[in-house]
């Protein structure tokens, strides 16, 4: 279980709503891949769907365009997400709040989420909760990130989320879900400078780095070391390690 300040997360994602879509190139690709993997492995017909952490609706849009459904409920801890999903389709019902603590209703055939589960304070417990909302043989399809995600930043600072490895997660939820498809990828983005990396991370709302507490010396050291260790052809790298899970409820 990791200590996650939900109010802070809410504030950061609220602030990043306007910049998120332009910067979240990796997350957009993850949403498309997740839909392809879902339809390839479990079909496209689902009676009742729940999406957790819909944000500005990257995955929501893909669901509306690619899946055949009767009911579709989306959720996000940030209430303003409602405006974004209502622009996508008036068939969507939005439930605001912390998905770990609110009542999510039940009887879902499909629960989906893109790039959000890494923000849960107790992911194994949360997955058990989702199991209680999903029908037997229902599908849980989500993406998250591996422990090596943003390795450049975690090697130079003490800031990182406690990501689960795929093996750990599968072991922890073995009583509740059976894997249908699991995969891990690596995607490297290039930036002109370490400051651009920090700006990118801020604009997608991930800013786990509490820059308020950095001195000028901390920032200088971060930039010098980032260039020293993570440069490539005059650019600096940032590595994303997305994980894909298509699971069936036992
Ligand atoms: C990286 S964004 C992903 C947004 C969207 N799914 C996409 O594909 O672009 C993570 C989202 O999870 C939401 N989130 C974080 N913690 C949450 C929680 N406990 N309950 C519900 N939503 C949460 C954030 O507000 C944010 O919109």
Looking at the structure of the chain, the number of domains it has is: 2
Residue to mutate (ligand 1; options 7, 8, 50, 53; most atoms within 8 A of CB): 53
Domain limits at 24? 6-190+240-249
Dump pLDDT digits (tens) for 170-226. 999 999 999 999 999 999 999 999 999 998 988 887 765 566 677 899 899 999 999
CB of residue 13 inside a 6 A radius of ligand 1: yes
Three-class secondary structure of residue 85 per DSSP: helix
> Which residues are paired to 94 by β-bridges?
74
Q: What is the CATH number of the domain that holds 94?
A: 3.40.50.150
Specify the DSSP class assigned to residue 8.
H
Shared domain check, 58 and 169:
yes
Same-domain check for residues 72 and 183: yes
Same domain membership, residue 136 and residue 78: yes
Q: pLDDT band at 2, cuts 50/70/90?
A: low
5-19, 117-131, 167-181, 203-217: which has the minimum mean pLDDT?
Answer: 203-217
Higher pLDDT, 16 or 94: 94
Quickly state the pLDDT bin for 40 (edges 50, 70, 90): very high
* 87 lies in the same domain as 104: yes
Does 175 lie in the same domain as 216? Answer: no
Same domain, 125 and 231: no
Domain presence at residue 1: no
Same domain? For 121 and 245 the reply is: yes
Q: Are residues 198 and 245 in the same domain?
A: no
Torsion of CA 236, 238, 239, 245, to 10 degrees: -160
Atom 13 of ligand 1: nearest residue by CA position? 53
SS3 call for 147:
coil
Question: Per residue in 87-113, pLDDT tens?
Answer: 999 999 999 999 999 999 999 999 999
Same domain, yes or no, for 149 and 46?
Answer: yes
Q: Is 35 in the pocket of ligand 1 (CB under 6 A)?
A: no
Kindly give the distance from the C-alpha atom of residue 14 to the centroid of ligand 1, in angstroms, as a whole number.
10
| DSSP-assigned states of every residue in 27-71 | HHHHHHHHHHHHHHHH-SEEEEEEEE--TTSHHHHHHHHH-EEEE
Both 55 and 23 in one domain: the answer is yes
Residue 188 β-bridge partners? 239
Chain center to CA of 195: 23
Which residue's alpha carbon is nearest to atom 10 within ligand 1? Answer: 116
The mean of the pLDDT values for the chain is 93
């Amino acid at each position: 279980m990791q200590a996650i300040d939900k109010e802070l997360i809410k504030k950061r994602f609220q602030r990043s709503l306007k910049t998120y879509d332009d910067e979240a190139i990796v997350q957009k690709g993850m949403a498309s891949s997740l839909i392809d993997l879902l339809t390839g492995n479990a079909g496209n017909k689902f009676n009742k769907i729940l999406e957790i952490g819909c944000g500005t609706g990257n995955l929501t849009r893909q669901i509306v365009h690619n899946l055949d459904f009767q009911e579709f409920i989306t959720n996000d801890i940030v209430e303003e997400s409602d405006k974004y999903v209502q622009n996508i389709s008036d068939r969507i019902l939005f439930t605001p709040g912390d998905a770990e603590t609110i009542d999510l209703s039940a009887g879902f055939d499909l629960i989906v989420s893109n790039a959000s589960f890494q923000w849960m304070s107790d992911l194994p417990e949360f997955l058990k909760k989702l199991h209680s909302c999903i029908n037997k043989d229902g599908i849980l399809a989500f993406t998250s990130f591996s422990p090596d995600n943003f390795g450049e930043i975690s090697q130079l600072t003490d800031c990182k989320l406690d990501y689960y490895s795929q093996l750990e997660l599968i072991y922890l939820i073995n009583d509740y879900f059976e894997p249908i498809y699991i995969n891990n990828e690596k995607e490297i983005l290039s930036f002109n400078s370490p400051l651009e990396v920090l700006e990118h991370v801020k604009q997608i709302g991930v800013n786990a780095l509490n820059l308020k507490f950095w001195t000028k010396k901390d920032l200088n050291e971060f930039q010098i070391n980032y260039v020293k260790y993570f440069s490539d052809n005059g650019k600096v790298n940032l590595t994303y390690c997305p994980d894909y899970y298509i699971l069936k409820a036992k």
